[in-house]
Amino acid sequence: MNRLFVCLFAVLFLARVSAAEEACASCIDGCACEEICSCNHEPRAPIGVMGDHVHHKGAWMVSYRYMFMNMDGTDSDVSGYMMRPKSMDMQMHMFGAMYTPINNLTIGLMLPYKVNNMDMEMGAMNMPMEMESEGFGDLKLSGTYRVWSSSVHQLLANLALSLPTGSMDEENGVARLPYSMQLGSGSYGLIPGITYTGLANGWGWGVQANGTFYLNENDHDYTLGNRYGLQAWGLRDLCSSSAVSLRLSGNRVENIDGADPQLNPMMTPLADPNLRAGTRLDLLAGIDYRIGPARLALEGGAPIAQELDGPQLETKWMVIGGLQVSF
């Protein structure tokens, strides 16, 4: 008798599971069943990852991210230069909006507001000097298209266009600030990418590769170097409303092509377009919390390896906080 009950229960349970799986499979397209199935369309990647999800048709999402990065000390000797970088703090307030006009395609807009502070030393007397720049950076228009998906996996194609809305005329009253203190690229850029994500049994994971290619020389006779990114992450649900994550993020930046004639590379390595390249691998831990349509998330980490074609400032640590609201 007991056995019969166990068997009956197992059959019912399996029937429920397969029904939920079927619901999930159909949910990918129309998303009539978000509540029933676990294949929800909530963001599943750590907050520092962009373009990791597509919403259901007609949905909006607005987001705000705050990013802080600290750089301190140089990777090689700077004593031969007149102006020597000591440390730098980079802050970014990133405002975003996403809309899904048709199934499987989410379009978005992202505008950063940047605040850069750098401490320098000048001359033989090590005179301290500060540089500051602040303002809007380059506006990005993005599209994320779901190429393929099942109840567990999805494959997304990403493409963004970067517009030269940020200033590259930042100065301190005496001279133009070096490349890394400027707010925009001055060029149009294309950012293609590919993203894979998985979600099952309270685990989430994903991989993303992308590149940033600046298409034209800006008004100051230079083009920022290409950027390449490759990252992988894993998430674990703590409960239905909270998850923790680990992310490995690799980034490569190439040197600047051309040179701003107002910047003198003999004065400081920051003004040398051929000392800008570098490769970095960051490890970040994150936590997020979801309440209804909102998601609050925090991620922080540090490089575990970096190789700079410097003298350049070394990245020490970074944090990213964000709030996303879907409706």
List residues binding Cu ion (CB under 5 A). Answer: 61, 98
Nearer Cβ to Cu ion (50/263): 50
Nearer Cβ to Cu ion (40/210): 40
Shortest distance (Å) from residue 162 CB to Cu ion = 19
Nearer Cβ to Cu ion (61/160): 61
Shortest distance (Å) from residue 106 CB to Cu ion = 6
Residues 6 or more apart in contact with residue 197 via CB below 8 angstroms: 44, 45, 52, 53, 153, 154, 156, 204, 205, 206
Nearer Cβ to Cu ion (47/181): 47
Q: Phi then psi for 27, rounded to 5 degrees?
A: -60, -30
Nearer Cβ to Cu ion (110/308): 110
Of 142, 144, 152, 143, whose CA–CA distance to 28 is shortest? 152
Three-state DSSP class for 254? coil
- At position 298, the amino acid (one-letter code) is L
Shortest distance (Å) from residue 231 CB to Cu ion = 18
Nearer Cβ to Cu ion (83/110): 110
Shortest distance (Å) from residue 204 CB to Cu ion = 15
Nearer Cβ to Cu ion (42/221): 42
- Per the rule left: phi > 0, alpha: psi between -120 and 50, beta: everything else, 201 is left
Sign of the C-alpha dihedral computed for residues 29, 31, 36 and 40 taken in this order: positive
Query: For residue 245, what is the enclosing H or E element?
Result: strand 242-253
Shortest distance (Å) from residue 55 CB to Cu ion = 5
Shortest distance (Å) from residue 238 CB to Cu ion = 22
Q: Which residue is nearest to Cu ion (CB)?
A: 61
Q: Which residues of 58-74 are buried (b: 16+ CB within 10 A; e: fewer)?
A: ebebebebbbebbbeeb
Alpha-carbon distance values, 57 to 106, 138, 190, 323, 327 (Å): 8, 28, 25, 21, 11
Nearer Cβ to Cu ion (51/186): 51
Other Cβ atoms less than 10 A from the Cβ of 203: the count is 12
Shortest distance (Å) from residue 61 CB to Cu ion = 4
- As a whole number of angstroms, the distance between CA 273 and CA 54 comes to 38
Shortest distance (Å) from residue 258 CB to Cu ion = 37
Alpha helices in 133-221 (DSSP H): none
Contact between residue 73 and residue 87 where contact means Cβ atoms under 8 Å apart: yes
For 85-127, give the DSSP string.
Answer: EEEEEEEEEEEEEEEEEETTEEEEEEEEEEEEEEEEEETTTTE
Three-state DSSP class for 61? strand
Nearer Cβ to Cu ion (306/326): 326
